[in-house]
A = this chain, B = another copy of it.
């Protein structure tokens, strides 16, 4: 049942609407374009759908640079049957998540230096396991510490189109609050970093060090 004529704008819009409705997850413009005739203006169709659904019970939203339909936030009170009891994040976990989100890529030591306490066991695991946070790479500094960043799941959960949309990020950046390097000569003692047992030194020979770490009796 192939279409012989080139579909017009309205038809493209219909198809994009259908694709987004049917999809199990958010779709990128590229995902959508792949299923449309060549040359279809996906961006235009999305923009026009967005206007069409504005103020409706269902709205088109951009998360992690992908598009999805979702119910209007002001109707949340009605959705009792669909609501899932979210896993409670502790205050510490939330703060850690915020630091990772606003400072990424960020090392464990940097997170700890902003909070002034070492990260308790379980905090990072939980965030990793929930898929909000991912390991991103290694900092090219001595010790080559692993850096953390947020994952798409984080943006999808909080309905953010991209990291630029983090609330207040621009203001914080302008105020220098997202700068990880501290002012010169800053020497508040950092007791959380005093003991090295909470650190995970990364060296060439990960293995022997590890053996020491874990196997030691």
Which A residues contact B (CB, under 8 angstroms)?
A: 1-2, 13-19, 21-24, 34-35, 55-58, 69, 71-72, 74-82, 84, 108, 121-122, 124-125, 128-129, 135-138, 146, 159-161, 165, 167-171, 173-178, 180, 182, 184-190, 193, 200-202, 204-211, 213-215
Contact = CB atoms under 8 A, between A and B. Distances in A.
A187 B210 contact: yes
A186 B168 contact: no
B17 A56 contact: yes
A125 B175 contact: yes
A154 to B, nearest CB: 14
Contacts of A72: 14, 18
A95 B213 CA distance: 25
Contacts of A35: 78, 80-82
Nearest to A171: B146
Contacts of A206: 168-170, 188, 190
